[in-house]
A and B are shown apart, each in its own frame.
Chain A
Amino acid sequence: MIVIFKYRKACQQEAGRELFCIGSHKELLNLTQQDYMNRIEELNQSLKDAWASDQKVKALKIVIQVSKLVYERILSMCMDNRNSLPDHFTPESVNDTAKETCLNWFFKIASIRELISRFYVEAAILKCNKFLSKTGISECLPRLTSTIQGIGDPLVAVYARAYLCRVGMEVAPHLKDSLNKNFFDFLLTFKQIHGDTVQNQLIVQCVEIPLYLTLYSPAIDWILQCIAYHAPEVLLTEMMERCKKLGNNALLLNSVMSAFRAEFIATRSMDFIGMIKECDESGFPKHLLFHSLGLNLALADPPESDRLQILNEAWKVITKLKNPQDYINCAEVWVEYTCRHFTKREVNTVLADVIKHMTPDRAFEDAYPQLQSIIQKVITYFHDFSVLFSVEKFLPFLDMFQKESVRVEVCKCIMEAFIKHQQESTKDPVILNALLQVCKTMHDSVNALTLEDEKRMLAALINGFIKMVSFGRDFEQQLSFYVEARSMFCNLEPVLVQLIHSVNQLAMETRKVMKGNHSRKTAAFVRACVAFCFITIPSLTSIFARLNLYLHSGQVALANQCLSQADAFFRAAVSLVPEVPKMINIDGKMRPSEAFLLEFLCNFFSTLLIVPDHPEQGVLFLVRGLLNVIQDYTWEDNSDDKVRIYTNVLHLLSAMSQENYIYHVDKVDSNDSLYGGDPKFLSEINKLCETVIAQILDHLKTLGKDETLKRQSQLSLYFFNSILAHGDLQNNKLNQLTVNLWNLAQKHGFADTKTMVKTLEYIKRRSRQPEMSHFAELALRLPLQSRT
């Protein structure tokens, strides 16, 4: 654009003149006059600034902005009684004042001395013709088109044409003739480019011809695009023929390729290749021509029979390009065509060629975006990863990404594609090896500065991969894969969690295959799985992940008859509970952890029911241990979670004292069969119950203050319900306790009458069942407190 700038000098004066025009019509301005003046003043200032800082094009833009304001102002003058004109108004509906103002503008502009300034301002203000006559625009466009003939510099002229086409398309898109005329006129002046004047100018400015020619492309592209928009095939063919006739038409050829429909180009690909070959070497850069052709072929398909020949012809030229940037720009475009129509063999050849060109002098360092785009295209077309990785040069190609950030991006793309397109799980060693490397690259990019989101994303990708790996019945192999993965991805916690789950699943799979009866070999294998989990869990930092995984892995161990291992998991879980912090970070926010702990403990209790006692430890060793931990844990002062947990412990103890437990693990003897209802065992349970109840009652007592009475009421009802459901109410002591709790709940008037009534009804209903007559007696002892 260097050349074009100096012609814009006159614009500033021009804008100045326009400003003057507005000022001279003060009497015509309505209320918004001040607004206009301010805006114009602003524009004037920025115009001067732009000029001072050598941004001539910006100055021109401001002139064009001013012309828009003029249009708006005249339009606003046409408003009578606050009704604005419809979109398609006719000149008759425009009032005289507006017309006069508009006419004045045209007279002022017509007297601008400089051709280029006058042209641009006239073109910018073309739309205002609508105010004066219906035919104004259709008369003006051809006139302006021929005015451009007076512009001597072909580059300046072609941009003037492009601008006129742009304005024409905006103001009167149906007037196609001037578009065509603009292009044909340009063709007529085409020889000027090689004339003495231009050539001398280039020598003075030290611009080389190929570079100079590329300056034309945007303008010609634009003009041709305007012409080609909804144009019939015949017109396009005619345009092409006209371009063909001119010598050194590479510039035009390129614009034709970028402006016309891709289908049109694609069906004539061989013709184009022929024309490109005939072009003069010294003129427009050839690689740009192939680049444009490649872009078209990426969008539309050439005839089947020509495809291979096109590739051969094109690549023959591309491979000879010496400048790595030119080369890679072309290659990037053509890779898509190759992937679209050919097999891995051709793609391999192309990739090999790219490697060959980009390796010397580490040229790839300047071409990462293009190389990345090549990989993306290849991945898009090769969904089958076993085929993809059998493309020999694919991995060497990846090696060119030596800058880590780019490398990780590429790896991410590959993994995304894999997760999206891989349908079945795989054990293909080629895929595994390659993808493990890819994942390792991603994993190794994680450091202290990596964002949480980024980590989460990488972990999700790696997890997706791990889930897709399956060695079928070869469980040993599967486990060793997990072991390898663990050593590779130790920095990403979600991956470790996934691995633990996967290994647990593997153990359960084994159990399923053996139908629950492990052989010596499978037992050893399952123990190996359990051991894997046991040593992996401590390396996690999230405490709830650890707790849940201990519990989960313990359950798996139990299911696989690894009693001592299960015991170890549960003991680890118990000893971890005191470490649970008060607040934990969830999605970046600190939240109290008690609700989570409560949930976990309840879950834990239901598992503990079936865990048999360790022969060397005392009765109910784990339950006692857990109770101690709960006792020592510092609970929130104003919460009743501790009591809720104790109540749940009572449920557990109640379940434990049954003759037959409500559920079992296959092939594991729980305490019911171990002790066989031994009175000593039962009395141990009773002792525990008494201790726990005492704790609960203590707590209820502390709630006797005014502000906590409501909690006391709720909690005692909660406890009451628990006893109702789980307790033996034929026991007199317990019976009395329930009555006391009932009364306590109602004592201070905080009980919800509806709930109380319903509870009472429930008791009465129960009493009608066989062997439940004591409920009837109980119901009699429970008075309902009336509200009034």
Chain B
Amino acid sequence: MGTALDIKIKRANKVYHCGEVLSGVVVITSKDAVQHQGISLTMEGTVNLQLSAKSVGVFEAFYNSVKPMQVISSIVEMVKPGKLPSGKTEIPFEFPLQVKGNKILYETYHGVFVNIQYTLRCDMRRSLLAKDLTKTCEFIVNSPPQKAKLTSSPVDFTITPETLQNVKERASLPKFLIRGHLNSANCIITQPLTGELVVENSEAAVKSIELQLVRVETCGCAEGYARDATEIQNIQIADGDVCRGLPIPIYMVFPRLFTCPTLETTNFKVEFEVNIVVLLHDDHLITENFPLKLCRM
């Protein structure tokens, strides 16, 4: 191995907020002295929107991908062209996380059609004979805590054959009664989603009960807008024919990076929903949908 380039961010969890100072070191390790044409460090935050083929058609999706929006960008020249000694060289850096104008530092979010990502990129330019070295490293931005007080909004639900929509032959459905509640549809992103569910009775044996966390991403652009719902994760809370009348806990941790506080901007929206999916032994699938509002406190 010749020369290795690495970026070490000071905070172990790499989480920063707007207004804070992102600091760390660039580490260059090499056996021999390194000749270079300058080392620069770039900090960049972008929102990438992608249109799904489903909502706008294949061609539009291909051609009309929306331009990435830059939220924050900054570049510094760390070292002027010259020579680095052999061994390990550490170059510290600091970036104040300040946005210009009315831009907002959105929270990091990895989705399907919407991606909000913050990166640090270190480039070492070298002479023609040697390849340039590049190292990228993602850091995470969390939006500031919400100022307004969180109102808890408990949701009670009852699922019976009668409450279902989209049923073709209601008569062929086995009888069942499932009751339950979510402790709140307004969730703090760092706290799990909680609640309880009781299978009061069911003619058919229960095969499985699952919680499906879904993201709903909306992209607006010149041609209109596209709205897509995709699954983030699926958590099984009951397996097999559970005991009737006993409460089964609903408990789901929101995954990091794949969730963010519910976001609504002029160009795009990111919202979340949870589905309670009951699978019966005769392969009937019953789904109940609950929109969620995530926030950070």
Contacts and interface: CB of A to CB of B under 8 A. Distances in A.
A binds B: yes
Interface of A: 7, 95-97, 99-100, 103, 106-107, 110-116, 118, 143, 146-147, 149-154, 156, 185, 188-189, 191-192, 195-197
Given A107-B255, A107-B256, A188-B243, A149 B236 contact: no
Interface of B: 11-13, 205-206, 209-210, 233-243, 246-249, 251-253, 255-256
Contacts of B239: 7, 114-116, 150-153
Contact of B255 (A111, A113, A115): A111
Nearest to A196: B205
Contact of A111 (B209, B251, B253): B253
Contacts of A154: 243
Contacts of A149: 242-243, 246-249
Nearest to B252: A110
Contacts of A99: 12
Contacts of A116: 239
Contacts of A106: 253
Ranked 10 nearest A-B pairs via Cβ: A152-B240, A96-B12, A110-B253, A150-B238, A115-B236, A197-B241, A100-B12, A152-B241, A115-B239, A189-B243
B237 A115 contact: yes
B251 A192 contact: no
B238 A152 contact: yes
A156 B240 contact: yes
Given A111-B235, A143-B249, 14 more contacts: A7-B239, A103-B13, A110-B235, A147-B251, A149-B247, A150-B237, A151-B238, A152-B239, A152-B242, A152-B243, A153-B239, A156-B240, A185-B246, A196-B205
16 contacts: A7-B239, A96-B12, A97-B12, A99-B12, A110-B253, A113-B233, A113-B235, A146-B247, A147-B249, A149-B243, A151-B239, A153-B241, A189-B243, A191-B243, A192-B243, A197-B241
Contacts of A114: 236, 239
A100 B237 contact: no
Nearest to B250: A150
| Interface of B: prevailing SS | strand
A150 B251 CA distance: 11
A189 B234 CA distance: 26
A113 B240 CA distance: 15
B224 to A, nearest CB: 34
A153 B246 contact: no
Contacts of B206: 152
B242 A150 contact: yes
A151 B248 CA distance: 9
A118 B252 CA distance: 12
Contacts of B236: 113-115, 118, 150
A113 B252 CA distance: 11
Nearest to A147: B249
A116 B237 CA distance: 9
A530 to B, nearest CB: 88
B249 A150 contact: yes
Contacts of B255: 107, 110-111
B6 to A, nearest CB: 8
A96 B251 contact: no
Contacts of A113: 210, 233-236
A96 B248 contact: no
Contacts of B248: 146, 149-150
Nearest to B198: A149
A143 B249 CA distance: 8
A103 B11 CA distance: 14
B276 to A, nearest CB: 13
Contact of B11 (A96, A153, A197): A96
A106 B254 CA distance: 11
Contacts of B209: 150
Contacts of B233: 111, 113
- Residue of B206, B240, B249, B252 most packed against chain A (CB within 10 A): B240
A474 to B, nearest CB: 80
A189 B246 contact: yes
A152 B13 CA distance: 38
A715 to B, nearest CB: 82
Nearest to B235: A113
A481 to B, nearest CB: 75
